[in-house]
Structure 1
């Protein structure tokens, strides 16, 4: 089996020198998109990794913050246009919670032409999730969970591949103990790291309800995971980010630490 993460973006909301955090999960020849970043750059990122929107039929949206949602509007617009031009086969299935659905419908109704809006609930279908709901896409079993955000309703998920490999996406906020059963012991933990612990006074991660690379490493060690992937970072230290974040998390975590750059592919095999 060939399975991998394709990181379209790795930056936080304010990042200007890398794209906002969003990624593809590839399982064999199928793609599952998670969030869309903050704009139409998501289309450029897809082009850069040689993935067409016509190959994307499933999408998970974590929450309504602009750096995760606005790119989804461009995915909807592009795929709806492709459907109208008969260049897209099947449906786009969007999995998310009620607030995201309401927000996307509102934005689309205010900004997209009627012929594009006409594909909502037709060629583009929303699947509303509640805490703990499961679904299967791309040969992967997903279980959603409410991350119990202090700022904005947000869902993460646990993904289980046919060979038993497990991956947990915590969204872009710190882990909540209420989700331990969904996350503990996974093979891959995807976790935000707003900055290095050494730089916490400069970037104030805790005031923004975010974590440092050291915090993420401590969490991964506590949860007994095998691989820790860090994303949603500041973009002031990109030249040294991979080495510095890896080094800091590895000081407190015995497993493998992965700090990908934009457009980097990470094998899950």
Structure 2
């Protein structure tokens, strides 16, 4: 299983893209969130993920930096369907309250010759917390993260080799997620900024965490591999170095601070759970 990070930034970034990523098995792709604009089209092209090979998309929640790129994807995939250049259906997974939001926005902004596919070849699949779907031949379980801002779901995915990856959305881990996240080999977690700059970026006011808290959490959960994303952008050139330095003070596993476009192999690497 290959994990390609499409964007790493928070909602207001301009020097990198909003947080989203794609999981791939050969030429099959599972896209998670789509960022806030049509840049998603160029980014997917740059990392060689053709639209016609995306058949599963998950949108975590309604905020524009996660949702609006989807509108462009629906438009372009629908056009390809009309041109006979897209085989099969596309399945868009989201919590049940988000389905009418997507339907309304697409109905107001996209021509009917495309939106006619919604409900047929463009399938909006409502999720309830705890639902499991088969995506890329993997079991993917979706769960409510208990957001205090807007209803949001995360997920866990278990590969065919038995490696478990969990995504907690873009808010700090909540104890209500424990039954899904425990035992994960990989954890994807937001880190809005360095702990030393919390007064400057005020992550807690925005219901986010710092590198320190994210790493303390991963250490407590004994997750061997941690990926940090959804960050500020003032340190892009040095972000990897600065975040890694702070994070390693609190976390003994494999810490990854990706840039847009970085690629990972989701496999068993390290095992902090054996550390006493």
TM-score range, shorter chain: over 0.9
Aligned partner of residue 182 in structure 1, secondary structure: helix
Measured in 2, the distance between the counterparts of 1:83 and 1:233 equals: 36
Structure 1 consecutive aligned stretches of length 4 or more whose deviation exceeds 3 Å: none
Structure 2 residue corresponding to 1:233, chosen from 231, 234, 246: 231
Q: Mapping of 1:104-253 within 5 angstroms?
A: 104-253=102-251
Aligned length: 267
Work out whether residues 27 and 139 of structure 1, in 8 Å CA contact, stay in contact via their aligned partners in 2: no
Q: CA deviation at 1:55?
A: 0.6
Aligned to 1:265: 263
RMSD: 0.7
TM-score by length of 2: 0.95
Q: Mapping of 1:68-79 within 5 angstroms?
A: 68-79=66-77
Q: Mapping of 1:16-55 within 5 angstroms?
A: 16-55=14-53
Q: Which moved more, 1:211-220 or 1:244-253?
A: 244-253
Q: Which runs of 5+ in 1 are unaligned?
A: none
Aligned partner of residue 246 in structure 1, secondary structure: helix
Q: CA deviation at 1:4?
A: 1.5
Measured in 2, the distance between the counterparts of 1:244 and 1:27 equals: 32
Work out whether residues 213 and 249 of structure 1, in 8 Å CA contact, stay in contact via their aligned partners in 2: yes
Structure 2 residue corresponding to 1:15, chosen from 6, 13, 16: 13
Q: CA deviation at 1:27?
A: 2.0
TM-score by length of 1: 0.98
Q: CA deviation at 1:132?
A: 0.4
Work out whether residues 64 and 99 of structure 1, in 8 Å CA contact, stay in contact via their aligned partners in 2: no
Q: Which runs of 5+ in 2 are unaligned?
A: 268-276
Measured in 1, the distance between the counterparts of 2:131 and 2:147 equals: 18
Q: CA deviation at 1:139?
A: 1.3
Q: CA deviation at 1:28?
A: 3.0
